[in-house]
């Protein structure tokens, strides 16, 4: 038996979890027929292009949130609560990384996704999936927190994370987390945003089409929402529209290599996700290796 302090590299997760205690979560879930998504991925792979499942979800969710500005908001306060409605849709993506020999979750924020094409988003996902967390400038804030001592580190985190005007840059306006690389069908997570999406694995399942049973790739998709900001009807609309958009696969054309989104470099922007936020689905055409970075 050994008892020792929590490793410094994991302390940003503790600061994050402490900060979101006021969250009032309600959980919804549905199943998404991924036939169109998987067909698009397969065709892209033949053309030496690869897309992660999380990229499709980030792309579709950003457009759904743009249509529902009330859900693209954040709240703070108890006696005199205030709500900020964000002008952009920023997606927080959780990734499983190793810093200082410790396996940790980091969560870069991808800005202005409502303007970004599928290729724009994939370039950002690739950057953070393949990047070295001990060198990337966007994760400098996390590394700085690791170096600070108690109680200065949590104070520094609160100073950056609590102001509503900074919330979109620090936490994003919605979060996406995936465990689809493992035999996980579904799960629910709180990502510190009004809406958090959880992706399970894509698995061939029986579906009914036109009264006949068929086999199709299906993904369990969960949505956790903060009941302080929106109600169940609004959240159900979000989940329904996201399901429809993924099944119809309305993809925005590429923007000639110019990304419409940018990774946030705010010192505390790349914070931890909730427990269970992990690696994501492997990109089409990518080798399934044992490295976590290969599975985003």
**Mean pLDDT of residues grouped by 10 in the chain (296 residues)?**
92 92 96 97 95 98 98 94 97 95 95 97 97 94 91 92 93 96 95 97 94 96 98 98 93 52 38 40 39 38
User: CATH for 8-275?
Assistant: 3.30.559.10
pLDDT attached to residue 255 = 54
User: What ranges make up the beta strands (E) of the chain?
Assistant: 25-33, 73-76, 82-85, 91-93, 95-99, 102-106, 109-110, 174-178, 195-209, 212-226
pLDDT attached to residue 78 = 86
Closest CA to 76 of 170, 10, 148, 176: 170
Closest CA to 174 of 107, 228, 121: 107
> Cα separation of 91 and 174, whole Å?
5
pLDDT attached to residue 150 = 84
- Rounded to 10°, the helix 11-19/140-147 angle is 100
User: pTM for the complete prediction?
Assistant: 0.85
The radius of gyration of the chain's CA atoms, rounded to the nearest angstrom, is 19
> Cα separation of 140 and 155, whole Å?
17
> Cα separation of 58 and 263, whole Å?
14
Domain-wise residue ranges, the chain: 8-275
pLDDT attached to residue 151 = 87
Task: Label each residue of 93-133 as H, E or C.
Answer: ECEEEEECCEEEEEECEECCHHHCCHHHHHHHHHHHHHCCC
Query: At which residue do the structure tokens 């743009």 appear?
Result: 66
Backbone angles phi, psi at 147, to 5 degrees: -85, -20
183 burial class (0-12, 13-18, 19+ CB within 10 angstroms)?
A: exposed
Residues contacting 232, CB < 8 A, separation 6+:
26, 28, 225
């Amino acid at each position: 038996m050994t008892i020792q302090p929590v490793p410094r590299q994991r302390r940003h997760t503790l600061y994050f979890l402490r900060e979101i205690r006021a969250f009032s979560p309600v959980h919804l879930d549905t199943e998404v027929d991924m036939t169109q998504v998987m067909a698009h991925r397969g065709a892209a792979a033949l053309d030496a292009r690869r897309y992660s499942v999380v990229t499709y979800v980030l792309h579709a969710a950003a457009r759904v949130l743009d249509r529902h500005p009330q859900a693209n908001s954040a709240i703070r306060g108890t006696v005199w609560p205030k709500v900020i409605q964000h002008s952009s849709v920023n997606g927080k993506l959780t990734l499983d990384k190793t810093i200082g020999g410790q396996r940790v979750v980091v969560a870069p924020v991808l800005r202005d996704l409502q303007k970004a094409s599928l290729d724009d988003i994939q370039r950002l996902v690739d950057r953070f999936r393949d990047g070295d967390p001990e060198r990337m400038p966007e994760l400098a804030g996390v590394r700085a927190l690791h170096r600070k001592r108690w109680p200065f580190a949590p104070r520094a985190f609160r100073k950056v994370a609590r102001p509503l005007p900074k919330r979109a840059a620090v936490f994003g306006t919605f979060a996406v987390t995936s465990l689809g690389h493992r035999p996980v069908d579904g799960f629910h997570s709180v990502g510190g945003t009004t809406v958090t999406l959880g992706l399970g694995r894509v698995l061939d399942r029986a579906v009914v089409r036109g009264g006949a049973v068929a086999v199709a790739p299906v993904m369990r998709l969960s949505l956790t929402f903060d009941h302080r900001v929106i109600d169940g009807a609004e959240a159900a609309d979000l989940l329904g529209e996201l399901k429809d958009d993924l099944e119809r696969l309305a993809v925005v054309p590429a923007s000639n290599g110019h990304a419409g989104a940018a990774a946030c470099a705010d010192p505390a922007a790349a914070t931890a996700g909730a427990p269970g936020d992990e690696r994501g689905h492997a990109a089409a055409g990518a080798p399934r290796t044992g490295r976590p970075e290969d599975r985003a």
